Amino acid sequence: MLTDLEALGLRVRGRERDELARGMIADFRLKSYQMDQGDINFMQLLESPTLQYARLCIYSQGYLAKSIRIGGYRDKLWSMWNAVAYKINRQFETTKEGIVWAPKIVPQAQVIHTNLMYFIQALQRKTP
């Protein structure tokens, strides 16, 4: 029999009913084509996540599982890391037969602030 999380497509390691266990994997996506006009208007109110103290709150079965600050110290730190990683990775770029080969020696992190603002700007262009 499937647990509640398995029915939602989430995989849980460990015991069968350990919903809020460490290492729980969840997939979260914002899809503009699934949002109604009220949701789009609400998202467009976010102009500066850093100044507005925006947070991404993830709930599981009615309980707050994780609260992530958008535009806080984590995002600033990862932005600085990405700048350094980009400079290091550029050192290893080579061109062979007109094709640029760019290996990822140092991994880059996903910055929530940047990705969210790209999404909101796309919503503003889409909405009349």
pLDDT band at 15 (very low <50, low <70, confident <90, very high): very low
pLDDT band at 4 (very low <50, low <70, confident <90, very high): very low
- pTM of the full structure: 0.58
Predicted local confidence at residue 22, as pLDDT: 64
Summarised one tens digit per residue, pLDDT across range 19-30 is: 555 666 667 777
Q: Give the mean model confidence (pLDDT) for residues 33-52.
A: 86
C-alpha to C-alpha distance for 3 and 74, rounded to whole angstroms: 33
Query: Beta 94-96 vs 99-101: how paired, if at all?
Result: antiparallel
